[in-house]
Amino acid sequence: MNKALVIAEHFQGKLNAATAKCLSCAQTLGEVQIDIALLAADGAAAAAEAAALPGVARVLLLERPENNEALAAVWAPQVAALAANNYTHLLGPSTTFGKDLMPRVAALLGVGQISDVMAVESAYRFRRPVYASNAIITVEAPAGRIVVATVRIASFQPAAGGGKAPIERVQVEAVLPTHTRFVSRSAAHADRPDLQTAARVVSGGRALASAENFKLLYQLADALGAAVGASRAAVDAGYAANELQVGQTGKIIAPELYMALGISGAIQHLTGIKDARTIVAVNKDSEAPIFEVADIGLVGDLFQIVPELERLIRARSAS
Amino acid sequence: MSPILVGIKRVIDYSVRVRVKPDGSGVVTDGVKMSINPFDEIALEEALRIRERNLANEVIAISIGPAEAAQQLRTALAMGADRALLVQVEQPVEPLTAAQIFLNLVQKYQPQLVILGKQAIDDDNGQTGQMLAALWDRPQATYASKLELDGARARVTREVDAGLDTIEIDLPGVVTTDLRLNEPRYIKLPDIMKAKKKPLDVTSMAELGVAAPAHGIRTLKYDSPAVRSRGVMVKDAAELVAALQQRGIL
């Protein structure tokens, strides 16, 4: 029997959708008992959400004032202490939160870490992308030692159905460092659908040519109830904020609909959208590589097509 | 003042379309252009800028890789690193082993900062910096888009999913770089000549006293990814909306 511990990601009292996807991954580990660990200063609300997920044995709530911000240096010794309780697997999401934390925990536990698990072949054998998803490798972790991994959340559906796991308040013996301190956060788009979990994403590239023009995208996104994304070129040019970047070194997403507007489709960008259900591409260059992967392609001028699309979609939802 | 250590990994150039070998034993590297991992170039640029502000006395470029990685270290020296060290290995090492090698070097050089790329674009692991910070029991500031030094502290702005976080760390510590931290400089011809005279030492894991793990994570095989096929082309916005409707998306 395997025993898995999933590290919950949460923000402002709400559980991040990545947690339910990690849970789905954990549920493919064969015969397995799954606990969720939630570290927080005040985590009751998020813990209640975690307890309502299906197939969870226990939610371990570790509250300490120092856990108010998810600082890897502060959280890692606590997670390592929890993991030492006979867990065979320790999973976190492949988000900036999980990618920051989990390698630190693995090193404290003296084991390697598997990044971006996209499929579980057995409890110790996993598939993961390398070279910007131009190759998929099968890796094997040593049996008899804890497996520490991050889960590529675009590869898993959130665990569905309800549950009613008990919430246990726990404490661990861990000396927490004071050498790392949170200062501030700026989140520019907190009012919009979350890029990583949105069902629809409208994404813009360098062809938008200015931050001002990027507003066209926001209007179309509003009409669709979509999140907004961007190519690296658009972010580097200052047209869009860094947290909107989709691709190998940005966010890996799997929406139902991905609309690539004025994005040529560099390999590094395509890595981020491979699992989208439907890809729509609009580009004035009919040779753009994005058309090789698009389900629906349209060659033409963005500045005419995008407002027209918005008008048609609004007219449709009004009728 | 103390030095800054920078990691320089030799990887397949970002512009190469990587292909899996037919026998699944790896990816095609014959005749393929190799470069410094782009995030490591950003790490080196940041270290050079700190030294140029007289906040560090030396920038040491370190690579863990095959003998050929000396080429990337020469490039790092031409960019402005003061000296370089190649830890020569026959097979690629796991991030945990790389972190153990860096820990060994940190104890030797006593740097104020170790700056590494947030990930290497070959294995896409993104672990070494965090693991080094854990083993060293020092702070980590990953995904840095801004780095300000203030005596014994650093203030680092980090690119995270929610936006930008700013944290303060006590030095020494580990910083890993994101894309927007800086734009690496171009190398001028005289710098390439000068770099030939700079010290590039070669050592081994055995000399450093670091052993590969007895129970590592093994790569069993490489597969090509599933490819998406080309879809349909439409001629205007109205057809596009109709196609989306037909697929049940609208």
Distance from CA of B220 to the nearest CA of A (A): 5
Output the CA angle B186-A239-A193, nearest 5 degrees.
130
- Report H helices in chain B: 38-52, 70-79, 95-109, 128-136, 189-195, 205-208, 237-246
Give the per-residue pLDDT at A311. 96
Does residue A148 share a domain with residue A255? no
Shared domain for A153 and A31, answered yes or no, is yes
Mutate to test the interface with B, among A104, A114, A259, A273 (most CBs of B within 10 A): A104
**Does residue A177 lie within any of the structural domains?**
no
Whether A145 and B134 lie within 8 Å, measured CB to CB: no
Residue A133 has pLDDT above 70, yes or no: yes
A108 touches B at CB < 8 Å = yes
A140 and A287 both lie in a single domain: no
Task: Determine the Cα–Cα distance for residues A31 and A54; give it in Å rounded to an integer.
Answer: 15
**In the listed set A169, A192, A221, which residue is the last one of a domain according to the structure?**
A169
> What does the pLDDT average to over B212-218?
89
List the end-to-end C-alpha distance of chain A, in Å, as a whole number: 55
Residues of A in contact with B234 (CB under 8 A): 296-298
Surface of B (207-226) touching A: CB under 8 A:
213, 215-225
pLDDT, one tens digit per residue, over A24-36 is: 999 999 999 999 9
- Compute how many other C-beta atoms are within 10 angstroms of the C-beta atom of residue B31: 5
Going across the sheet that includes A147-151, the strands are A113-117, A147-151, A89-93, A2-7, A32-40, A58-63, A167-169
The rounded distance, in Å, linking the Cα atoms of B198 and B196 is 6
Round to whole Å and give the CA distance between B67 and B216: 23
Residues of chain B above pLDDT 90, percent:
93
Secondary structure of residue A11 in the 3-state scheme: strand
In this prediction, residue A189 carries a pLDDT of 61
What CATH number does the domain containing A216 carry?
A: 3.40.50.1220
Q: Which CATH number belongs to the domain containing residue A103 in this structure? A: 3.40.50.620
* pLDDT at residue A187, rounded to an integer: 78
Of B141, B220, B244, Cβ closest to residue A139: B220
User: Residue with structure tokens 């070998």?
Assistant: B21
Q: What is the pLDDT of residues B107-156, one digit of tens each?
A: 999 999 999 999 999 999 999 999 999 999 999 999 999 999 999 999 99
Average pLDDT of span A243-264: 95
* CA distances (Å), origin B52, targets A247, B45, B48, B70, B72: 33, 10, 6, 24, 22
Residue of B135, B206, B65, B107 whose CA lies nearest to A111:
B135
Highest mean pLDDT among A242-256, B92-106, B224-238: B92-106
Q: Is the pLDDT of residue A227 over 90?
A: yes
Cα–Cα–Cα angle for A8, A269, A292, rounded to 5 degrees: 125
Residue A17's domain comprises 2-169
> Per the CB < 8 Å rule, is B236 touching A305?
yes
Q: Mutate which of B244, B246, B247, B250 to test chain A, going by most A C-beta atoms within 10 A?
A: B244
Residue A87 has pLDDT above 90, yes or no: yes
Where in chain B are the domains?
Answer: 4-215
| Residues in A 237-266 with any Cβ partner in B closer than 8 A | 241-243, 248-249, 251, 256-257
Judge if A125 and A262 occupy the same domain.
no
Query: What pLDDT score does A217 carry?
Result: 94
Q: Which residue of A has its CA nearest to B223?
A: A136
In a domain, A174, yes or no: no
A104–B130: do the CB atoms touch at under 8 Å? yes
| Nearest chain B CA: its distance from A263 CA (Å) | 16
User: What separation, in Å, do the N-terminal and C-terminal C-alpha atoms of chain B show?
Assistant: 62
Instruction: Residue A312: list chain B partners with CB under 8 A.
Output: 237-238, 241
Domain assignment of residue A35, yes or no: yes
Contacts of A138 in chain B (CB under 8 A): 219-221, 223
Of the residues B100, B219, B240, B246, the best mutation for testing chain A's interface (the one with the most A CB atoms within 10 Å of its CB) is: B240
Are both A121 and A218 inside the same structural domain? no
- State the pLDDT confidence band at A315, using cuts at 50, 70 and 90: very high
What ipTM did this prediction achieve? 0.96
User: Is A195 a member of any domain?
Assistant: no
Q: Per the domain annotation, does A180 fall within a domain? A: no
**A146 and A206 belong to one structural domain:** no
For chain A, say whether B7 makes contact (Cβ under 8 Å). no
CA distance B59 to B43: 11
Closest CA of chain B from A311, distance in Å: 10
Q: What is the pLDDT of residue A67?
A: 97
- Do A37 and A158 fall within a single domain? yes
What integer pLDDT is reported at residue A185 of this predicted model? 93
Q: A-contacting residues of B 14-53, CB under 8 Å?
A: 14, 17-20, 27, 39
Output the average pLDDT for chain B. 96
Kindly tell me if the per-residue pLDDT of B41 is higher than 70. Answer: yes
- Euclidean distance between CA atoms A230 and A237, whole angstroms: 11
- Tally of domains in chain A: 2
Contact B223 A138 (CB under 8 A): yes
Residues A155, A27 share a domain: yes
Q: Which of A169, A184, A211 is the last residue of a domain?
A: A169
- Residue with structure tokens 């890789």? B65
The pLDDT assigned to A193 comes to 86
Closest CA to B123 of B96, B92, B89: B92
Whether residue A160 is predicted with pLDDT greater than 90 in this model: the reply is no
* B157 Cβ neighbours under 8 A, 6+ residues apart: B144, B145, B146, B147, B164, B165, B166
Residue A188 predicted with pLDDT over 80: no
- Using an 8 Å Cβ cutoff, are B115 and B42 in contact? no
Q: How confident is the model at residue A102 (pLDDT cuts 50, 70, 90)?
A: very high
Pick among B14, B106, B124 to test the A interface (most A CBs inside 10 A): B124
Would A265 be classed as within a structural domain? yes
In terms of domains, do A122 and A224 share one? no
Please check whether residue A139 touches B, CB under 8 A: yes
Taking CB atoms and an 8 Å limit, are A249 and B20 in contact across chains? no
B95 prior amide bond cis, ω within 30: no
Domain identity same for A109 and A22: yes
Structure letter (DSSP) for residue A171: -
Evaluate if residue B187 carries a pLDDT over 90.
yes
The region of weakest confidence among A151-160, A229-238, B20-29 is: A151-160
Strand pairing report for A257-261 and A200-204: parallel
Q: In the predicted model, is pLDDT for residue A236 greater than 80?
A: yes
Taking the C-alpha atoms of residue B160 and residue B149, their distance in angstroms, rounded to an integer, is 21
> Of the residues A169, A185, A211, which one is the last residue of a structural domain?
A169
Contact B118, B178 (CB under 8 A): yes
Contact list, A235 vs chain B (CB under 8 Å) = 179-180
* Domain spanning B4-215: CATH 1.10.10.410: no
Average pLDDT over residues A175-196: 88
The encoded tokens of residue A212 equal: 């001002």
Count CB neighbours of B214 within 10 A. 6
The full 3-state SS of B139-177, as one line of letters, equals CEEEEEEEEEEECCEEEEEEEECCEEEEEEEECCEEEEE
Whether residues A107 and B179 touch (CB distance < 8 A) is answered with no
Q: How far is CA A147 from the centre of its chain?
A: 20
Q: For residue A208, give the DSSP letter.
A: G
**Residue A190: pLDDT over 70:** no
Q: What's the full length of chain B, in residues? A: 250
Closest residue by Cα to residue B227 from A234, A169, A274: A274
Greatest distance between any 2 Cα atoms in chain B: 68
For residues A130 and A208, membership in a common domain is answered with no
**Torsion over CA of B133, B135, B136 and B139, rounded to 10 degrees?**
30
Examine the pLDDT at A319 and tell me if it is beyond 80: no
**Residue A27 to residues A9, A19, A120, A289, B199: CA-CA distances in angstroms?**
18, 12, 10, 37, 53
Mean pLDDT of chain A: 95
Q: Is A211 helix (H, G, I), strand (E, B) or coil?
A: coil
Which of the two residues, A196 and B81, has the higher pLDDT score?
B81
